[in-house]
Amino acid sequence: MVNLQSKLFTSLTADIDKYLTNSDLKPWKNSLRSNSYAEGFLALLSHKDINIIMTAQGYNTFNEWLFDVDNWSQKLLDPRNEYGKGAMVLYELWDVFRNNIMDAIRTARLHTNIPNRGGILAFVGGLSKCIVIEYLITSDYPRFTIIDVIDNPQSAFDFWGTISNAAMAAKNVLKEIISTGHKIILHRGILMHVDRRKDFQVFGPSVDTILLAEIQAQLFYENNLSKKRVLEIGCGNGLLSVSVAKYMVALNKIHSIDVNFHSIFCLYNNLSINITQHLLKKLDIYLTYGEFSNKFPNEKFDLIICNPPYIPNEPTVPEYLNKKVDYYQAVGGTELIAEILNNLDNLLSDDGELLLLVSNLSLDYTLNLIPYNYNYKLILENGHKVLFDVEAVLKKESWLNFLLTECDLIEENNLFYHNIYPILIKK
Amino acid sequence: MNKTLILRFRDLITEDDGTINDHLNMIYNYGEVWWGWWMKQHEIPPRNLFIDVFNELEKSGLINIYLFNSGLNKIYKAKTVKILVAPQGNTIRTPDFEKSPSYYHRGSYPAWFLMNGIEEIEFANTNFTIVSTPTKTFKGDFDLPKNIETLEELQNMNVTLWEIATP
């Protein structure tokens, strides 16, 4: 569970405490409803009384409650029933979540070609849960069903892992969802849509991107820290840029750049889904298709975000190929990391910050490149363990061996893992 | 004597008669419709009365609830088959977006009634007695029980829900 104990988290937890000792739940409700990035699930799942709250409702675990939430809420709406400790916290949480999903699908429908029946992966609770949802649009408002809950998802493609463990009915639904070619992810009130049939080679949203989005939310939005000028290098599907545009209150300008034209188009679509026309008009938004290559000689940013390629290439790979693979497949190579770190003075304003995500495979390399006049902070000291499922590497035995022997790639039960590290770099 | 409810409403968002027509359209299309009970700020949801309605519905499967259009002074009988009540101090969005008119969709209400028939009735043919005004937090300026002589009487009472007895 990613939990940086932000200001908002602390206040949401304090509100639950007060409510459980018979105080009003209004402040909690207001916080949840007025900020769509607010994450009640995180406050609940981290709460010391979570087991007491679940037991009081007759459930052993949070997941058990979530699977039965429709029946549970019907009982709650029968005025003859007494409800146990924490029922209103759960009800509020469910209501906000349900409404967010419905609103997100409705808006997405207006701006993209999402299918009438499909699946959503909703990441909640500081990435401790991935809720797999099937939706069906028959009228203005969609109906939806919870198919599965994946604990501590280690890959944004955990659909496949889910299929093998799911019950037969859920298995079929999941297969149908995958076959649509649409990838829909919900994270902190933002719905991201990638149509795999036309968004060619658009990166993500991978678990890396979602982790960075979670860090962004906890670090900046939940602590009321805002930046005016933001640059995202290698925006891929655009989750990080969309989140900044939607939630950074003092933002004037965001510049997103990617080498893949389809990524830029995908980001444009996702901005339309998530950001109101009014806000879009207010912001300076630049979407650039092309290589980064220090394109901004006269411009400085208060925040740069980047989820770069971070898998070291084999030493035998020629340098020109290294760079090409790095840029155009968003897979191997560490050139972009070096390019950004070498240009920090040109890119960052005096109190500007770089939020960078690398892997333990390239952590030492990255830290060694940080200029002497900059400090860094590993936001998650031990990193975040995720599945290493990069096909290009898995297909090339010599590269895989190099990462296992030289770069500490982790092998467990015939699967590979690595730790990803968000790093904050500033003067 | 049977006890039941009158719920007050007005065509605030729709044209005249629009509220009832929208609900009737839903009944025509889906066989049933959710009616959201809106209350004034000074009122409190009558939890005990709702419990009685729940029990009655469990016993008989259907009760008649009356809907009073205070703008047009019209009264309707609504066949009600289910009620859902928001947890204490809360409001809830419609239990089924498909089966509720679109103007409800953004709002959130203290109770919802599922109805499968609504028809206008002649007030002159009714004989309602107000038993209580349980949403009121203060004492009213009339004694109860009270026979309703005209719909203007209901109009002048500052509440949105009455517990009534019918012959």
Is B40 within 8 Å of chain A by CB? no
Residue A162 has a pLDDT of 58
- Rg, chain B, Cα only: 15
A140/B105 Cβ within 8 A: yes
Q: pLDDT grade, residue B84 (50/70/90)?
A: very high
Q: Does A387 touch chain B (CB under 8 A)?
A: no
Does B67 have pLDDT greater than 50?
yes
CA–CA gap between residue A178 and residue A186 (Å, rounded): 16
Rg (CA), chain A: 22
B25 touches chain A (CB under 8 A): no
B50 touching A (Cβ < 8 Å): yes
Instruction: Note the pLDDT of residue B140.
Output: 66
Flag whether residue B90 sits within 8 Å of chain A, measured between CB atoms: yes
- Count CB atoms within 10 A of the CB of residue A100: 18
What is residue A328's predicted lDDT score, i.e. its pLDDT?
A: 47
Rounded to 10°, the helix A87-111/A7-20 angle is 140
Res. B94: pLDDT tops 70: yes
Question: Least CB-CB distance to B54: which of A80, A83, A99?
Answer: A80
Percent of chain B past pLDDT 90, that is, above it, reads: 61
Pairwise CB contact (< 8 Å): B51 & A77: no
* Element containing residue A178 per DSSP (H, E): helix A168-179
Question: Taking phi first (over 0 means left), then psi (-120 to 50 degrees means alpha), and beta for anything else, what does residue A234 get?
Answer: left
How far CA A408 is from CA of A322, A362, A401, A418, in Å, comes to: 20, 10, 10, 8
Q: How far does CA B149 lie from the centroid of its chain?
A: 19
When pLDDT is averaged across residues B154-162 and rounded to a whole number, the result is 91
pLDDT recorded at residue A9: 92
- One-letter amino acid at A93 equals L
Backbone phi, then psi, for A149, in 5-degree steps?
Answer: -125, 120
- CA distances for A246 relative to A27, A35, A189, A252, angstroms: 23, 11, 10, 12
Higher pLDDT, B34 or A30: B34
Domain ranges of chain B: 2-166
Average per-residue pLDDT for chain A: 87
- What's residue A219's pLDDT? 95
Mean local confidence (pLDDT), B111-133? 93
Q: What is the pLDDT of residue B33?
A: 97
> Which residues from chain A sit within 8 angstroms of residue B47, using beta carbons?
79
Confidence (pLDDT) at B108:
87
Does residue A80 belong to the interface with chain B, where contact is any CB pair within 8 Å?
yes
Q: What is the residue extent of each domain of chain A?
A: 2-101, 112-188, 202-426
- Find the residue in A nearest to B52 (Cα): A80
Residues of chain B with Cβ-Cβ distance to A143 below 8 Å are: 98
Substitution target from B33, B56, B57, B93 for chain A, most A beta carbons within 10 A: B93
Q: pLDDT value at position A326?
A: 45
Residues 6+ apart with CB under 8 A from A13: A43, A46, A47
**Is B47's pLDDT higher than 60?**
yes
Distance CA(A392)–CA(A399), nearest Å, equals 9
The answer, for B98 touching chain A at a CB cutoff of 8 Å, is: yes
Pairing of strands A229-233, A301-306: parallel
Q: Which fold has domain A202-426?
A: Rossmann fold (3.40.50)
| CA distance to partner chain B, nearest, from residue A76 (Å) | 7
Helix axes A26-34, A87-111, angle to 10 degrees: 10
Note whether B87 contacts A: Cβ–Cβ < 8 A. yes
pLDDT value for A274 = 94
pLDDT at A165: 62
Q: Which residues of chain A fall below pLDDT 70?
A: 156-167, 169, 199-204, 294-295, 297, 317-331
Output the six-digit token pair for B159. 């509440």
**How far off is chain B from A115, nearest CA to CA, in Å?**
19
User: According to CATH, what is the number of the domain A112-188?
Assistant: 3.30.420
The complex's ipTM works out to 0.82
